[in-house]
Amino acid sequence: MRGQDDTLVRFRGVEKSYDGQRYAVRHLDLDIARGEFLTLLGPSGSGKTTTLMMLAGFEQPTAGEILLDGRPIARLPPHKRGIGVVFQSYALFPHMSVAENVAFPLSVRGVARSEQARRVERALDMVRLPDLGARRPSQLSGGQQQRVALARALVFEPPLVLLDEPLGALDKQLREEMQLEIRHIHERLGVTMVYVTHDQAEALTMSDRIAVFRDGAIRQLDTPQALYERPTDAFVAGFVGENNRIAGTVAERDEDMTAIALGGGRRLWARQADAGGPGSPALLSVRPERIAVAAGSADDLGENALPATVAEVIYLGDHVRLRLALEGGVEITAKRPAAAAMAGLAPGAQVAVAWQPEHAVAFAPGD
Amino acid sequence: MAHVAAIETGKAAAALARRARRAGYGQKVSAALLVLPLLLFVLVAFAAPIGAMLKRGVEDREVAPVLPRTIGALSGWSGTALPDEPVFAALVEDLREARAAGTLPSAASRLNHDQAGLRTTLIGSARRLAAPFEGPAREAVLRADPAWGQLETWGALARARGPWTDFFLLAALDLKRDAAGTIRAVAEEQAVFRTVFGRTFWIAAMVTAITLVLAYPLAALIALSRPAVASALLFAVLLPFWTSLLVRTAAWMVLLAREGVANHALVALGLFGAPQQLLFNRFAVVVAMVHILLPFMVLPLYAVMRQIPPIHLRAASSLGAHPVSAFRRVWLPQTLPGIGAGCLMVFIQALGFYITPALLGGGADQMLPYFIGFYANQTVNWGMAASLSLLLLAATLLIVGLYGQLVGFGAVRTS
């Protein structure tokens, strides 16, 4: 690998339109590093699956180019790209046994039979299905079928594996188990994986980097932590993790902090993201777990505090969620550890809420 | 205590089972009532007539009531030499009685099916022997018609003794018993049915193969099209069902006639110098049968193909399979049940095609159903018509059974 470019895949100005009127993907520039786990995250119709399908070769870009290992692949048909793909519907071949399914990519490549058997066994071991080779796919559970699909996409040792919402059809517990398993396989094999999902928790769990898609473009490309802590716009903040939004007007700006004026003459400071200049409308966003709640008057807590009324207390075992009504009727949610003293936080109680200015972000409203 | 509890539980379980059985019984009764009208209809209008018809293939009751004494006297006959005087005497008596009663013609025509000329022999002899004569019956009978001096004449009589016979079934296979009862092949110039069976199966197989080749890509196109396009194409496939079989066959007569559309087009295109004979040959039969049977191949293929997720082809190519190999190894194997069902449906229907070959085919190139129709309608030889039908039915059932063994009837889901 020494001396080789660290970038495995490059999208350069890639565009895709199915009907010639609307863009499925508009001007995509994206570098995927060798060995990384990149997740394309976004709501349905945001272009993430189209991006994946263009990389697999099932869709052709209408403009721009895609480079794999430095070579343009526009004219390379899917079967010559050597990219493993795992589909949401598994796409196992029902007329073949599990072992025949996994052996399929080897047999079309003319690998000797004894070698095929050895590698199929190893691949099934890797996905922890060592004894099911003789079964038909229809005799397996959903989770087992997806493991077989994974083994089949990995058995021919592709440098790049694409996963298109592979866990979408599984129940929650199985999904969480498979997330970690895929993550561990990725670490062990060092293969590059591009993963498509609309589940932000899944993206946070699994990825080295996450690209958040909206309307055919990447809104933010960052590590999970950066994405969660420092979203660059209101959409990303809303899509990744929970957040509270409070509308106001920009009152004052310094280098990286913005003061937002709310009704009733109150002002809150927040980290500047993409809010406009003084006088323009803005959204203040704050995560529920960053909100401190205290009995008493807001005026005692200083500048970044607001008075609120407890609307509802929801006990969830490890934590408590509080629905709080601010002045002017805006509702926010706060998340507190259940162990913390919650005395006096019955519905109707007058409380004060506050947070560190650097835990709040100021966005331009928009979406 | 525990023992008592177990007994109690046992009783409760038995009661529960009884209640479940009773509830299940009610369901079965109502299900049976729902299909009862259809069941009766099928029995009365379908199973019974077919059974009665097929019975005629092995039944032989036309000669024995007319010539009872002769048949009785022949019962111990060896078939190696002419029968003795009592048999001749019985024949004379039977012939006189039958002539007087007017029952001779039906027996005569049955014997004529066995051996051409026996009708004349029987009716002529009856007339000549009607008057009293002197001397042994044997000489008088031989005087009346020398055919009575041949073993085969008596063999035909013995074979027709009834009430059951394998005569028609053997005849349908170009076989015959001689006077001594040994099964032999019939003379070569009389052997037709094996050729007809062979031809029928060959034409049906050819039609099935051509239909499959034409229907497969069409079904694939429909299965892979967008829903709107697919339903339009499917509608086009089903459109021919709106016109009768006879009309479609007649349309081919118009198309393929010497002065027809096809000939004009071929001459206009310069492919032929002069109009060709396109009608009244096997070509016309096969073309029309393929056209008529195509939907029966397209529909089961389509039913199976649309069950195959299109993503399978993508998966195969992402795994490194060339499109041709992806088709051969992933798609084609999954369509096999549809191929089996379509071929079965087309082949069996083709075996039974009557109108189309009769109207479009050559006189010397007819299929089995034509001969069944011929015997039933023209020579009124029900035994022959029935035994040919029986063999055709048996061959069909054999093929269906073979299909069940090889493919399985559960393979095609239509939902």
From the list A63, A58, A56, the residue with the least C-alpha distance to A27 is A63
Mean pLDDT of B93-120: 90
* Residue partners of A181: CB distance under 8 A and separation at least 6: A127, A128
CA triple A77-A80-A85, angle to 5 deg: 90
Does residue A330 fall inside a structural domain?
Answer: yes
DSSP class per residue in B61-95 = -SSTTTSHHHHHHGGG--SSSPPPHHHHHHHHHHH
B74-91 in b/e form (b: 16+ CB < 10 A) is beebebeebbeeebbbbb
Same domain, A214 and A266: no
Same domain, A136 and A185: yes
Query: Is B404 buried (19+), middle (13-18) or exposed (0-12) by CB count in 10 A?
Result: middle
Same domain, A200 and A75: yes
Q: Where are the domains of chain B?
A: 68-162, 193-411
A319-326 and A305-315 strand pairing: antiparallel
Residue carrying the six token digits 């080789």: A4
Distance CA B67, CA B70 (A): 6
- Lowest mean pLDDT segment, chosen from A92-101, A197-206, B184-193: B184-193
Asked whether the beta carbons of residue B318 and residue A108 sit closer than 8 angstroms, the reply is no
A192-197 and A37-41 strand pairing: parallel
Distance CA B312, CA B331 (A): 8
Q: Which domain holds residue A279?
A: 243-363
DSSP class per residue in A193-211 = EEEEES-HHHHHHH-SEEE
**Coil, strand, or helix at residue A367?**
coil
Mean pLDDT of A101-127: 95
Single out the residue in A204, A234, A264 at which a domain terminates: A234
Does residue A255 fall inside a structural domain?
Answer: yes
Distance CA B138, CA B83 (A): 9
A94-116 in b/e form (b: 16+ CB < 10 A) is ebbbbbbbbbbbbbbeebeeeeb
Distance CA A194, CA A207 (A): 9
Residue A210 and residue A224 in contact, taking contact as beta carbons nearer than 8 Å: yes
The count of CB pairs under 8 A between chains A and B is 64
Q: How far is CA B348 from the centre of its chain?
A: 9
Give the residue numbers in A contacting B (CB under 8 Å), as ranges.
56-58, 77-79, 81-85, 87, 89, 91, 93-95, 104-105, 108-109, 152-153, 156
Name the phi and psi angles at B388, rounded to 5.
-65, -40
**pLDDT for A1 beyond 50:** no
pLDDT at position B179: 79
Task: Please tell me which of the candidates A58, A87, A156 has its beta carbon nearest to residue B320.
Answer: A156
Distance CA B84, CA B71 (A): 13
Task: Please tell me which of the candidates B314, B322, B330 has its beta carbon nearest to residue A58.
Answer: B314
What is the residue type of A135?
R
Q: How far A93 CA sits from the closest chain B CA (Å)?
A: 7
Helix axes B85-101 and B104-114, enclosed angle (nearest 10): 130
Helix (H) or strand (E) holding A264: none
* Tokens (6 digits) for A10: 């490059």
Give the model's confidence band at A340: pLDDT under 50 very low, under 70 low, under 90 confident, else very high. Answer: low
pLDDT at position A2: 38
**pLDDT for A357 beyond 70:** yes
Helix (H) or strand (E) holding A250: strand A244-253
pLDDT at position A3: 40
pLDDT at position B413: 47
* Tokens (6 digits) for B384: 């022959």
Distance CA A104, CA A329 (A): 61
Give the model's confidence band at A341: pLDDT under 50 very low, under 70 low, under 90 confident, else very high. Answer: low
Give the model's confidence band at B415: pLDDT under 50 very low, under 70 low, under 90 confident, else very high. Answer: very low
Q: How far B160 CA sits from the closest chain A CA (Å)?
A: 57
Of chain A, the end-to-end C-alpha distance in Å amounts to 43
Q: In what order do the strands lie in the sheet with A63-68?
A: A25-33, A7-16, A63-68, A71-72
Does residue A39 fall inside a structural domain?
Answer: yes
**pLDDT for A14 beyond 50:** yes
Asked whether the beta carbons of residue B317 and residue A109 sit closer than 8 angstroms, the reply is no
* Torsion B132-B137-B142-B143 (CA) sign: negative
Does residue A18 fall inside a structural domain?
Answer: yes
Asked whether the beta carbons of residue B333 and residue A95 sit closer than 8 angstroms, the reply is yes
B183-185 and B175-177 strand pairing: antiparallel
From the list A189, A179, A227, A153, the residue with the least C-alpha distance to A36 is A189
**pLDDT for A367 beyond 70:** no
**pLDDT for B188 beyond 50:** yes
Instruction: Give the long-range contacts of residues B322-331, CB within 8 A, separation 24 or more.
Output: B322/A79, B322/A108, B323/A77, B323/A79, B325/A108, B326/A79, B329/A104, B329/A108, B330/A93
**pLDDT for A76 beyond 50:** yes
Query: Is B364 buried (19+), middle (13-18) or exposed (0-12) by CB count in 10 A?
Result: exposed
Residue carrying the six token digits 């070698």: A115
pLDDT at position A166: 93
Single out the residue in A214, A234, A254 at which a domain terminates: A234
pLDDT at position B414: 44
Residue A352 and residue A308 in contact, taking contact as beta carbons nearer than 8 Å: yes
Q: Which pLDDT tens digit goes with each residue over B280-339?
A: 999 999 999 999 999 999 999 999 999 999 899 999 999 999 999 999 999 999 999 899
CATH number, domain with residue A28: 3.40.50.300
pLDDT at position B410: 66
Does residue A248 fall inside a structural domain?
Answer: yes
* Torsion A355-A357-A361-A365 (CA) sign: positive
Nearest CA in chain A to B333: A95
Q: What is the mean pLDDT of chain B?
A: 89
Give the model's confidence band at A137: pLDDT under 50 very low, under 70 low, under 90 confident, else very high. Answer: very high
Q: Which pLDDT tens digit goes with each residue over A231-283?
A: 998 999 989 988 899 999 999 888 889 999 987 778 899 999 888 888 899 99
* Tokens (6 digits) for B68: 């009872």
* Torsion B117-B119-B123-B126 (CA) sign: positive
- Chain A interface includes B323 (CB < 8 A): yes
Same domain, A211 and A270: no
Same domain, A12 and A123: yes
Residue carrying the six token digits 């349908």: B172
Does residue A2 fall inside a structural domain?
Answer: no
* Tokens (6 digits) for B259: 């002065």
Distance CA A225, CA A204 (A): 8
Residue A236 and residue A219 in contact, taking contact as beta carbons nearer than 8 Å: yes
Give the model's confidence band at A9: pLDDT under 50 very low, under 70 low, under 90 confident, else very high. Answer: very high
Residue carrying the six token digits 């019975």: B55
Beta bridge partners of A163: A86, A195
**pLDDT for A358 beyond 50:** yes
Same domain, A281 and A171: no
CA atoms within 13 A on the CB side of B340: 20
Same domain, A199 and A266: no
**Coil, strand, or helix at residue A72?**
strand
Task: Please tell me which of the candidates A94, A104, A109 has its beta carbon nearest to residue B334.
Answer: A94
Mean pLDDT of A285-294: 90
DSSP class per residue in A217-244 = EEEEEE-HHHHHHS-SSHHHHHHSS--E
CA triple A176-A181-A183, angle to 5 deg: 95
Single out the residue in A203, A234, A265 at which a domain terminates: A234
Same domain, A175 and A225: yes
Same domain, A229 and A249: no
Task: Please tell me which of the candidates A82, A84, A91 has its beta carbon nearest to residue B311.
Answer: A91
Same domain, A200 and A262: no
pLDDT at position B15: 86
From the list A65, A62, A61, A147, the residue with the least C-alpha distance to A101 is A147
Q: How far is CA A23 from the centre of its chain?
A: 22
Give the model's confidence band at B232: pLDDT under 50 very low, under 70 low, under 90 confident, else very high. Answer: very high
Same domain, A140 and A272: no
Q: What is the CA radius of gyration of chain A?
A: 25
pLDDT at position B259: 86
Number of domains chain A is built from = 2
Architecture of the CATH domain B193-411 = Orthogonal Bundle (1.10)
DSSP secondary structure code for residue A156 in this structure: T
Helix (H) or strand (E) holding B159: helix B151-159
CB proximity under 8 Å: B 333-352 to A: 333-334
Distance CA A310, CA A325 (A): 6
CA atoms within 13 A on the CB side of A241: 23
Does residue A1 fall inside a structural domain?
Answer: no
Does residue A294 fall inside a structural domain?
Answer: yes
Q: How far B305 CA sits from the closest chain A CA (Å)?
A: 13
Helix (H) or strand (E) holding B106: helix B104-114
Asked whether the beta carbons of residue B330 and residue A79 sit closer than 8 angstroms, the reply is no
> Can you give the length of chain A in residues?
367
CATH number, domain with residue A296: 2.40.50.140
Q: Which stretches of chain A are DSSP H helices?
A: 48-56, 78-81, 98-108, 113-126, 142-154, 172-189, 200-206, 224-229, 234-239
**pLDDT for A300 beyond 80:** no
Nearest CA in chain A to B319: A105
Q: Which pLDDT tens digit goes with each residue over B137-161?
A: 888 989 889 999 888 899 898 888 8
From the list B160, B166, B135, B206, the residue with the least C-alpha distance to B68 is B160
**Peptide bond preceding B68 in cis form (omega within 30 of 0):** no
CA triple A129-A135-A139, angle to 5 deg: 95
